[in-house]
């Protein structure tokens, strides 16, 4: 019997502290250990980001006086910088309630009760501990102790697709599979202030957030009309290993981000999409929606231009970027949630629902990861 991997529900969330991009730039301008020429460039860099708001688990970013800091030293130099151990402890304290909250919300929205969950796939690259996030979710959500667990770590912005691929494999091998995927990242814990332009750009883009999805194995009759995960594809560019990097340092995790990234992605996208769609007798002209990871404004715009998409096709991606910034792995699920909500709304009012769509993200490697979704029964 043919079974489908149905995208049952997606829930998203952020830490409570939201800062406007202007407020974030103003905070960074006060860091007197940054060279003055860089501090002078901050407002323009932040203004060009197409981001209005970002979220953080670091309360110091909302404090006006250094004497009130409790994460950073009580000095506007922010030196000595918090150690990797201190940042990882903050990660553990903040990530657990956030991941639990979005996971509960996804379960509440889905057709699965906690006791129905057969697999948990947890994703994060901004902190580590053991027993890990996967075990904590099983215990906090009162999932069965037999729940099978997978942890996907240190893969960056495209990691949600590795999680979805794993979930799809579970759903295709077990007709009773109900898989909970949770992506949680606290990128702002690792902002660096050592004085490079690359660091300033990274600090202007990244944000904190989490998203959870429930995927379920369903028969054709059960899944009729639903959006289902149909296929996936990965493509690695062998000439850009150093264009995006993520390393562990003594004062947090250190990101390398080349300005070449949008151009490298755009160069490989047409071949990538052909390889994903052609086996299904489809082309990019058949797609009703595009969920493009908004790693930055230039990435979305380059992808839009190389695929000759109109503004409406990238609106959801740019809105997520505007309202949340780049949250690494959960970001694409924020975009997919908007699309799933549109699909369900169209079904509810009897209008034309979505039939085919592509979601994709980009990360260290450089790697393009993505998936094809299609409505069951077309």
CA 11 from chain center: how many Å? 12
What does the angle CA 363 – CA 246 – CA 269 come to, to the nearest 5 degrees? 15
Annotated catalytic residue: which of 157, 171, 183, 187?
Answer: 157
State the residue for tokens 């996030």: 133
Q: What phi and psi values does residue 367 have, to the nearest 5 degrees? A: -125, 140
Distance CA 39, CA 273 (A): 40
Residue 157 annotated among the catalytic residues of the structure: yes
Calculated CA dihedral for residues 133, 136, 137, 140, nearest 10 degrees: -150
The neighbour count for residue 88, using CB atoms within 10 Å, is: 19
Q: How many residues does the chain have?
A: 378
Cα dihedral 113, 114, 119, 125 in deg (nearest 10): 120
| 259 burial level (CB within 10 Å; 0-12, 13-18, 19+) | exposed
SS3 371: strand
Contacts 24+ apart (CB under 8 A), 191-194: 191/252, 192/81, 192/251, 192/252, 192/254, 193/31, 193/33, 193/34, 193/78, 193/79, 193/81
Tokens of 155: 């893969």
Q: Which of 347, 339, 346 is nearest to 373 (CA)?
A: 339
- Residues catalogued as catalytic: 157
């Amino acid at each position: 019997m043919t079974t489908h991997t149905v995208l049952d529900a997606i829930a998203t969330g952020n830490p409570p502290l939201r800062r406007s991009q202007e407020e974030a730039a103003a905070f960074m301008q006060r860091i007197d250990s940054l060279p003055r020429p860089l501090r002078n460039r901050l407002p323009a860099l932040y203004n060009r980001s197409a981001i209005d708001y970002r979220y953080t688990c670091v309360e110091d970013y909302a404090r006006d006086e250094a004497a009130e800091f409790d994460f950073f030293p009580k000095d506007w130099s922010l030196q000595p910088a918090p150690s990797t151990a201190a940042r990882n402890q903050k990660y553990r304290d903040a990530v657990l309630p956030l991941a639990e909250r979005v996971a509960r919300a996804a379960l509440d929205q889905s057709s699965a009760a906690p006791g129905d969950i057969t697999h948990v796939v947890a994703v994060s690259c901004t902190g580590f501990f053991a027993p890990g996030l996967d075990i904590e979710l099983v215990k906090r959500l009162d999932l069965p102790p037999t729940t099978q667990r997978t942890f996907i770590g240190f893969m960056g912005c495209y990691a949600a697709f590795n999680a979805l691929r794993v979930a799809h494999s579970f759903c295709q091998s077990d007709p009773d599979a109900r898989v909970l995927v949770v992506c949680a990242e606290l990128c702002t814990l690792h902002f660096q202030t050592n004085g490079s332009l690359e660091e300033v750009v990274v600090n202007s883009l990244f944000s904190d957030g989490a998203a959870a999805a429930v995927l379920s194995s369903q028969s054709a009759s059960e899944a009729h009309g639903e959006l289902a995960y149909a296929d996936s594809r990965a493509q690695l560019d062998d000439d850009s290993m150093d264009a995006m990097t993520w390393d562990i340092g003594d004062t947090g995790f250190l990101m390398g981000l080349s300005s070449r990234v949008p151009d490298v992605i755009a160069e490989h996208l047409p071949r990538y999409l052909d390889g994903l769609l052609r086996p299904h007798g489809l082309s990019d002209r058949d797609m009703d929606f595009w969920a493009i990871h908004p790693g930055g404004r230039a990435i979305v715009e380059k992808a839009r231009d190389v695929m000759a998409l109109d503004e409406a096709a990238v609106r959801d991606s740019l809105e997520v970027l505007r309202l949340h910034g780049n949250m690494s792995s959960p970001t694409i699920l924020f975009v997919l949630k908007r699309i799933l909500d549109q699909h369900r709304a169209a079904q509810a009012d009897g209008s034309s629902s979505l039939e085919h769509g592509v979601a994709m993200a980009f990360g260290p490697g450089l790697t393009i990861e993505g998936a094809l979704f299609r409505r069951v029964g077309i």
